[in-house]
Amino acid sequence: MRNNRMTFKKPAQMLGLLGAWLVLGAWSSNTDHHGISSPSALADPPFPNQKISPVFTQNNDYSSTISFSPATLVSQRPSRSGGRSILMVEAEEDNFAVLQAVTLTVDNVILHINGQQTAAELTLDSRTNRLALVVEGVKLADSIPINQDNAGPDGTLMKRRLRIKQLDRGVVEVSLNAQEQSWTVRSHNQGLLLAPTAIANTAETLEIKDEVSQGELSPEETLILSQTTAIDGARVEETSVETTTTESAQNGITEESSDLNQTNGLDIITGPIEPTISSEESTVNVLETQRENDSNQEKLAVVQTDQIEVTEVEVTETETLDTVEFVQEEVVEESPPEESEITTPLLRQPLRILNLPTANQLLQGQVLGAFGQTQTFGGPGMGNQTYFIYADWGLTNDLQIGWSFMYNDDPTYNAVNGAFIEQLYQSTGPNLKYNIYSDENWGISVLGSIEQFQIYSGPGLFNNANSPTLSRTVAGTVQLPISYNLSEQFQVTFTPAVNIFSDSLNSIPFYGTVFSVGLGANWRVSEQLSLFGNTVVPLSGGNSINTSREISKTPIWSVGANYAFSKAVGFELSLTNSFGGTPATGILTLPTAANEILLGAQFKIAPLAKEIYHVDYNDRQKRLLFDWFTLTTPYVFPTDDFGVRFTADTGGSIGGGIFYSVLQNFQMELLLSYIGGFDTKSVIDSSQGTATQWRLGGKLAFLNQADGDPLSISGRLTGGRDISEEEQGYFMLEFPFMYEVNNQLALLFSPKAAITGGKTPVGLGLGANYQISPVIQLIAEITPIVTGERLVWSAGLRLFPLENLAIDLMGTNATSQLDLGELIAEPGTRFSAGIQWRFGQGSSK
């Protein structure tokens, strides 16, 4: 696997990098600093048409002749700690430079800095592959224009999620996605250049197309740098660079002239210098600084005069005079990087392949939860749904405990003796899993569970009575999963098992004891994506009941995919004929429809693996965190923030919800709603939603414009049912896309559908949000229903008495502003009011 960490390819036996930069003038006392100028200590020498090449001594010391301020010395230190390159510059305290603009080219980033920064540190987070340049002695301008130079319409570097932050007083961070490239920072005649190492070493980066004002300079200043290097007692040719800067008082035009007394050029790269020398060789590296001043000229000479032996532990020592501090750094040979341990169960082989357990275990202290639903594609009413929850905890590396729950409350899928019979199945209980044996390829575990299995049966299903019966039984299972790794990516599992149920229920034959064997496979296509399939064959007893109430054996199967959006959140999608949602009931098929295909979806959460990552929303984007009237925003709240929503209209509909952001890209929600004043049966052939309805689900962000993506996209899924005798349920699925045109206008497109067992309304929501002022928004929405029903519309005002509090006033023909009601319109107009309130640390950001 490719190592994403920034590394330096040559050893660190280089004991000194001597450099100095010539300042093109100093600010006069009456200068008005409005232009973008080169930082004095880091600016390129003014030779735009000359190629500059590196110079090495016999012992691979790096020599350079660069202009610098008389009060400043620059030193570069390669570091073996964390893969970073540090550029240190001495300067006055609290005299902060200003980052005034950023230019994006196809390959690099130019930071236009007016003034002189004191230090720049480049680091790479190997886990996130994110590069960070921290510059000290710099503050941000009030507004920073982002210019694109031949970067294409979408901006190649914008795709890297470029971010600029003021970390502290005088400390600025510029970060982007490294995309598996080695990067370097170097000086630039307008500030700093951040570029891939291969690009930074080419001459093309020396060309500057844009003219940028350098500010007013003193009438005339000439600085000369001379450098002499001793190599084995011999003297090399002295090299000097002279730069003269003059300013005409009449026209304010700045003229620059340069003389280079050297035939060979010198390439100045502020990235790592990588000489190749053995540890037995010695290196010369001591600095002596002298100054000669008069009113018009200042001279600085840098001479190497001492010697330091290089041993296994390398010591880099730089001593300077006056304003230059003594710096000593120990650099210890770095051991080869160890392969990082995977700290989340979502990036390993799974604990179970849908309902078939594997021999994989949670490590000590790890927690994994899952909640989801299976849904038929047809059937009476709104179809048949089963809800399930799993919670597992690694007590030790070999012992795992858990709890599971499943619930189904729908009529029989097919008629029994000509009638659809009411039924309810609920099973819950603890389970325990112990690892018997494991090595690099094999794993053997034993799993057991005991559950309370509750069955409500209408007349004629699991009874011969004329009235419903409620039976509470005990179910359990013992399973022995044996897993084998064919490769690091592909694992197969063989699982013999026994599931124990009652032999009869109210004198009607029941499932009994079911011996079975299961076979499954999981293929990790990538670090985040895996595909799976399994089958379980019952050998005794029965796992199916038909319309004649006969118990029989039916093979169980499933296929699906898992995707980990982060270390803490994953999503699974499957097709199966498995009806149960616990270890004991997973062997069962849908009553009266053993071969019916079910669509399954579930979220998986590893809460202890979450990494808090804050997106810096601006004031406008903070106000776009709230859902619109009948459309969902793709944004999610900042991590650990929660919110509440309440709506009501003149038609009698009422609803609300609680929202909690588990991660920066995942938000959970619990809703209650009621559609009043309209019979939904006239539209969807069912009275769905006209009783109080509960909904549980989540929203997952895929792209985020506030984080540098070209637009914002998320997916939202909820499931739930009416709190009524019918207890009908459905899936609500939508994918909102939002594009912020500017700081005032945002456009939203949201395909959505209410997936039911009967008629499924599908809509294409379109909306516009225009900010009149920071406290007033105009919102207009239309949702054409592609399945033929009446178009839904809404329009109104959103007011912000507080940044985190929104009040809605609108007119609409939607029967509700939550889930199904967003897709069902009435002939008339309703007037609605609502409130949304966000709480937490992110609400003040």
Which tens digits make up the pLDDT trace of 175-215? 888 776 788 888 888 888 888 887 766 644 444 333 333 33
- The CA-CA-CA angle for residues 486, 490, 494, to 5°, reads 70
140 C-beta neighbours (distance < 10 Å), count: 14
Q: Which of the 8 DSSP states describes residue 154?
A: T
Q: List the domains of the chain with CATH numbers.
A: 18-332 (no CATH), 345-609 (2.40.160.40), 619-844 (2.40.160.40)
Contact 387, 719 (CB under 8 A): yes
Q: Which of the 8 DSSP states describes residue 506?
A: T
> In whole angstroms, how far apart are CA 13 and each of 20, 272, 316?
21, 12, 9
Task: From 836, 843, 841, 832, select the one nearest 659 (Cα to Cα).
Answer: 836
Coil, helix or strand for 249?
coil
Give dist(CA 228, CA 288) in Å, integer: 11
**pLDDT score, position 15:** 34
Bridge partners of residue 747, in order along the sequence: 739, 768
How far is C-alpha 212 from the chain's CA centre? 36
Q: Taking the chain, what is the end-to-end CA distance rounded to the nearest angstrom?
A: 38
Give dist(CA 661, CA 261) in Å, integer: 63
Name residue 688's amino acid: Q
Q: Which residues of 639-660 are buried (b: 16+ CB within 10 A; e: fewer)?
A: bebbbebebbbebebbbbbebb
Name residue 754's amino acid: A
Coil, helix or strand for 498?
strand
Cβ contacts of residue 602 below 8 Å, gap of 6+?
Answer: 370, 371, 372, 373, 388, 571, 572
The encoded tokens of residue 416 equal 């029994």
Cβ contacts of residue 393 below 8 Å, gap of 6+?
Answer: 362, 366, 367, 400, 401, 402
Cβ contacts of residue 335 below 8 Å, gap of 6+?
Answer: none
Task: From 271, 267, 277, select the one nearest 314 (Cα to Cα).
Answer: 277
739 C-beta neighbours (distance < 10 Å), count: 15
Contact 601, 717 (CB under 8 A): yes
**pLDDT score, position 538:** 97
DSSP for 651-690, written as a single string: TS-EEEEEEEEEETTEEEEEEEEE--S--THHHHSS-TTS
pTM of the entire predicted model: 0.56
194 C-beta neighbours (distance < 10 Å), count: 24
What are the E-state strand segments in 439-568? 442-457, 469-479, 482-485, 490-500, 504-505, 508-509, 513-524, 529-538, 544-545, 551-552, 556-564
Q: How many CA atoms lie within 13 A of 175 on its CB side?
A: 19
Cβ contacts of residue 338 below 8 Å, gap of 6+?
Answer: none
Q: What's phi and psi for 651, nearest 5 deg? A: -85, -5
Give dist(CA 792, CA 783) in Å, integer: 5
Task: From 545, 81, 614, 577, select the one nearest 375 (Cα to Cα).
Answer: 577
Contact 421, 413 (CB under 8 A): no
335 C-beta neighbours (distance < 10 Å), count: 6
**pLDDT score, position 243:** 33
Regions of the chain where pLDDT drops below 70: 1-94, 127, 149-160, 180, 200-342, 379-383, 682, 685-689, 725-727, 757-758, 841-845
